Amino acid sequence: MSPPPARPRASSPVRPAQPRLRDTAPPAPRRDRPGTAAAAGEGPRRPSRDVFVDAVRAVATLSVLTVHWLMADATWDGEQLRIGNALAHGGGWAVTWVLQVLALLFFAAGASAAYGLRRADDRTGTAARGRVVTRPSAVADLADGVRLAGARLPRLLRPVAVFVGAWVVAVGVLLAVGLPADAVRSLATLAPQLLWFLAVYLGLVVLTPLLRRALHAAGWWAVAGLAAAPLAVEALRFGAGFERLALVNVVLVWAVPYAVGLLYADARSGLRVVRRGRLVPVAAVPRPGVLVAVGLAAAALAALLVAVGPYPVSLIGMPGDTMSNLGPPTAPVVLHAVALVALALAARGPLVRWADGRGRSVVRGLARRSMTVYLWHLTAMVVVVGVVLVVLGQELPAVGGADWWASRPVWFGAFALVLVGIARVVGRFEDAPGRRRTRQRVGSGTE
């Protein structure tokens, strides 16, 4: 008896091979993540907390405090309050070239925004899927930017609302105790001037998706083009008399360091983009030597423009100047911004070592309370100076003299003491609701 014939083996369904990502034309675009111009790759590495950005923010915040506290100059005769600027005397203008570091704050803001968008890509799996993410129009990018700003607005509004509310109450109290209305008005217009920074920041957040798309398309060439834009505005302002056109530089100038922060963070995240049908890194951070050369050249060109152009020597507004280099920002300011950011990137290694070592507590503390410190540091100065002038009836030391310099540590200590006290009371409003406060919760890696 012959054995039964063997049953034929069931054939397995043939599965098509999964295509591999090649450095050729990108796949069809999709709209599953806002804010990225053309991101693709094999799952870019998720960046750890960037201590460098925290260190830059801390150094910039301390510099802003220092330059503002050095300005303290006021007189009170019992009826009239006169507010001056100590840096307007002697060689105080030179201090502004070192301590006017708003560009570093915008750089840190841009880097934090880019890191936040990369984390959002990680949560949705966009980066890991290796898809090309693109936007078909600038209108869609702006719509994404509005949503992005709307998500950040509550976090900004809480501390700002407390700040404004406290000043409204303070004005009422000062008027009630009999302080002259002119003196109260001078005080009430001093500290709130800081809010312009937040308005510009929100505007740049709205532009973030559009800026990233340009940066992903052209890399550092996009930064160069962005830096040239305010210089062109300045040429039209002084060459053709378009004075009002200079107002756009309030955004254009600060968009330059903000864009560098965006590109730096995307480069550090290992982001790759499609350019001319090839998959390439979004950018490479230049070597320290190149960055130093760029920084020194930009600073020298800024100084040359001040020497031969219509610009005042100080990089901030001074009493008696016919114009201010900050209102609106001028060509020397944008060149100074380029110099600051380039030199900061060149010093990344030493800054990280400082932030991980001796500066660790300072960097972490300022990362947690940067908004509070920024909003309230002038208020702390006003409180101390007001008590000395009005309550104690004492005059401030003559500006620039030996007594003035010798007393700076004492005055700075008093300002800092009041600021710390204020921060302990109102600092909690900077925390996101529903989150437990921890020492490491807020920084460049947390939005």
pLDDT, residue 6, reads: 52
Query: Residue 217 pLDDT more than 70?
Result: yes
The rounded percent of the chain whose pLDDT value lies above 70 is 82
- The answer as to whether 246 is a domain residue is yes
Residue 191 lies in a domain: yes
Cα(279)–Cα(297) distance, integer angstroms: 33
Interval 350-386: pLDDT, tens:
999 999 999 999 999 998 899 999 999 999 999 999 9
Is residue 187 included in any domain, yes or no?
A: yes
Tell me the CB-side half-sphere exposure of residue 123, using CA atoms within 13 A: 7
This prediction has a pTM of 0.84
Mean pLDDT along residues 225-237 = 94
Give the total number of structural domains in the chain: 1
Residue 340 covered by a domain = yes
- The residues near 251 (Cβ < 8 Å, ≥ 6 apart) are 200, 203, 204, 207
Q: Work out the burial of residue 139: count CB atoms within 10 Å of its CB; fewer than 13 is exposed, 13-18 middle, 19 or more buried.
A: exposed
| pLDDT tens, position by position, 171-200 | 999 999 988 898 899 888 887 888 999 999
**Rounded CA gap, 397 and 374, in Å?**
26
- 53 with 112: CB under 8 angstroms? yes
Domain range enclosing 179: 39-427
Distance separating alpha carbons of residues 343 and 359, to the nearest angstrom: 19
Token code pair at residue 195: 């809010």
The residue with tokens 């973030």 is 208
Ramachandran assignment for 219, one of left (phi > 0), alpha (psi -120 to 50 degrees), beta (any other):
left
In sequence order, the 6+-apart residues with CB closer than 8 A to the CB of 88 are: 314, 318, 319, 320
pLDDT of 130 higher than 80: no
Pairing verdict, β 74-76 and 81-83: antiparallel
Residues 6+ apart with CB under 8 A from 190: 83, 378, 382
Q: How confident is the model at residue 214 (pLDDT cuts 50, 70, 90)?
A: very high
Measured over the CA atoms of residue 315, residue 320, residue 321 and residue 324, the dihedral's sign is: positive
Q: What is the pLDDT of residue 33?
A: 39
Does the residue 385 lie in any domain? yes
Burial 220-255, CB ≥16 within 10 A → b, else e? eebbeebbebbbebbeebbeeeeeeebeebbbbbbb
- Please report which confidence band the pLDDT of residue 435 belongs to, taking 50, 70 and 90 as the band edges: low
CB 41 within 8 A of CB 69: no
Looking at residue 88, its amino acid is A
- Greater model confidence, 439 or 93: 93
- Rounded to an integer, what distance in angstroms lies between the CA atom of residue 390 and that of residue 369? 30
- 12 occurs within a structural domain: no
**Residue 265 in domain:** yes
The rounded percent of the chain whose pLDDT value lies above 90 is 55
According to the model, what pLDDT value does residue 229 have?
96
Let me know if residue 243 belongs to a domain: yes
